[in-house]
A = this chain, B = another copy of it.
Amino acid sequence: MSGRPLDVLEASVGDQVTVRLKGGEIYDGVLAGYDQHMNLVLEEVKETHGSDPDEDPDAATPEERGEMTIIRGDNLVSISA
């Protein structure tokens, strides 16, 4: 179990992460916190939808969000750090 998921999350606090959600949204931001359900807190968040930018450049235009964004863990597909 070396490299358990929550240990990797803990090590990623303060880092830029890319979060992919079940609905297809992608959030880029700085990981400010998390809990054992993988609920996340992101700062400086930009959201894109997961479409290919070559197909539809508008869809990939990032949209700025508020200062702090909580993402409920049960929406997550993956977190890349």
Contact = CB atoms under 8 A, between A and B. Distances in A.
Interface of A: 1-10, 12-13, 18, 21-23, 25, 27, 32-35, 38-41, 45, 65-81
6 contacts: A3-B68, A5-B33, A5-B70, A38-B39, A69-B78, A75-B76
B35 A75 contact: no
A70 B8 contact: yes
A45 B22 CA distance: 19
Q: How many copies does the complex hold?
A: 7
Nearest to A33: B3
Nearest to A73: B72
A13 B4 CA distance: 11
